[in-house]
Structure 1
Amino acid sequence: MATVNERYLDRTVLVTGAASGIGKAIAAAAAGEGARLILGDIQVGALSDVAALLRSRGTVVHSAECDITSTEEVDSLVAAGSAAVGPIDVVFANAGTLGTPGDVWSYSESEFQRILDINVTGTWRTLRAVLPGMIERRRGTIVATASAAGVIGPAGLPAYVASKHAVVGLVKSTAMNVAAFGIRVNAFCPHLVDTPMLDRVTAEIPGLRDSLDQQTPLGRVATSEEVARSALWLGSDESSFVTGHPLLVDGGLVAQ
């Protein structure tokens, strides 16, 4: 078994939503373990900065603008990245959105559908793009970013909660579909993570951050780096007998 710092040596890793937050942390952690990277995000400037930083550290990186609500852009990222860097070994289907908090009856149909299109159909588009190549090679690992909200039902985020439950279901079904080809598919389910997305939400409500810190038995939100370590474990050979699993990375929230 490879040591922790070389688990991704000579592997090509795709990360969507790689410009910030969890995706950026996953990309940096995989690069630190020897991966070649294919990175996509709609935040082109921030993505370019991430790619430039990782290249300066010696990592081979292909990056491109990718809106996961576009089948063409997802397919293009996978095709161009594979041609430039090599066939994809590990996928972190991470891109997603929280949406605006609100009551289930207060959402417009367009906003509800937008969140589902990004979080659920966007994840499906990513799986659809990478799986034929993995099936042909009879190997590969996929890790989708779900959420603790994919296994419980907190109020006020109906579209997000519905979408993350759907991601967990998609992962389970896909894992059963491709297990015979030697491909593993899992989800990881963080609770609150110290990311720009969380900063935007908490900035609007005084005292919310302190309240959120106290929700978990560990008494704080997670860092992007520790969540990325959990994701990298799922994507590595260290989890070689784990598939169809939603791994909670929630500070004990769901165990309460």
Structure 2
Amino acid sequence: MPGALEGKVAVITGASAGIGRAMAEIAAREGASLALGDITEAGEAVAEALRKKGTKAFFLRTDVRRKQDMDALVARAKSELGAVPTVAFANAGVEGKLAAPWDVTEDDFTRVIDTNIVGVWRTISAVLPGMMAAGEGAIVATASVAGLVGAGGLAAYVASKHGVVGLVKSVAIDAAKSGIRVNALCPGMIETSMVDRLADGAPNFRESLLALKPMGRLGAPSEAAEAAIWLASPAASFVTGHALAVDGGYVSQ
């Protein structure tokens, strides 16, 4: 049986670790060729591991705060992988500092906004022209359950993730008749380095999180990534403009 993304060229930002790395591994399993971008060079090891398993994949250092970086990643995908990307996972993001909003500097606030929402827009704007020309495409932007409900101490992060959900809904409407679907993935707390960083600055952070989870545990990166792959696959062919919570039941409370 062919994989869900067989023959597709996919772009993944934030691909070096966590959910992004899991997206790369599962997309490769499902038959995609991969253009991996991240601000850290650890993405090269991810690409190399996938190539050893027979996947066509490359890594390019990519900062989603720079439009020219995103344009370069998409152009190289077309030249090296042989086709325009018709799948994109706009996954790169940062959490910012856990602090009261009045203790956050303007530079810290705008860095989160520029990465998390403007970076998603840059990714979308880089891949859309090729998708429009091809008459098909699927974009999955990583938002968060913090894009669906509030969370104290992370004003910039929450604002940015709400913005991602709104951006996805708007672009989905504009792109629908061109055969392009646009959805948002909204993970709850997943076992990643982001959670580790937040826990380092807050005593009992993990215990507090677990107390809020109906399932009583954090998610694995692969659980969020599997949902993202489904959203990008033909199995979700009538799903667009949707924000899918993958959160162990958190927002259902």
Classify the TM-score, shorter chain. Answer: over 0.9
> Is it true that 1:160 corresponds to 2:137 in the alignment?
no
Partner of 2:18: 21
Percent identity over paired residues: 47
Shift of the alpha carbon at 1:84? 0.6
Shift of the alpha carbon at 1:242? 0.4
Shift of the alpha carbon at 1:82? 1.5
CA-based RMSD of the aligned residues comes to: 1.0
Partner of 2:44: 48
Instruction: State the secondary structure of the residue aligned to 1:214.
Output: helix
Pick from 182, 191, 196: which aligns with 2:193?
196
Partner of 2:59: 63
Partner of 2:147: 150
Question: Normalising to structure 2: TM-score of the pair?
Answer: 0.97
> Is it true that 1:178 corresponds to 2:175 in the alignment?
yes
Deviation string 1:80-136 (CA, Å, 9 cap, x unpaired) is 111111211210000000000111111111111110000010000001100011111
Residue type of the partner of 1:146? A
Pick from 236, 239, 248: which aligns with 2:233?
236
Partner of 2:9: 12
Instruction: State the secondary structure of the residue aligned to 1:6.
Output: coil
2:86/2:130 contact within 8 Å kept: no
Q: How does 1:76-115 map to 2 (within 5 A)?
A: 76-85=72-81, 86-115=83-112
Instruction: State the secondary structure of the residue aligned to 1:9.
Output: coil
Instruction: Tell me, in whole angstroms, the C-alpha distance in 2 between the residues paired with 1:249 and 1:63.
Output: 27
Give the number of aligned pairs: 252
Deviation string 1:196-249 (CA, Å, 9 cap, x unpaired) is 111122133343222212221010110001111111110101110000000011
Instruction: Tell me, in whole angstroms, the C-alpha distance in 2 between the residues paired with 1:96 and 1:250.
Output: 18
> Is it true that 1:119 corresponds to 2:116 in the alignment?
yes
Shift of the alpha carbon at 1:53? 0.6
Shift of the alpha carbon at 1:9? 1.1
2:44/2:58 contact within 8 Å kept: no
Question: Normalising to structure 1: TM-score of the pair?
Answer: 0.96
Question: Which stretches in structure 1 are left out of the alignment for 5+ residues?
Answer: none
Instruction: State the secondary structure of the residue aligned to 1:38.
Output: strand
Deviation string 1:26-64 (CA, Å, 9 cap, x unpaired) is 0000101111000000111x1111111111111000210
Instruction: Tell me, in whole angstroms, the C-alpha distance in 1 between the residues paired with 2:8 and 2:155.
Output: 37
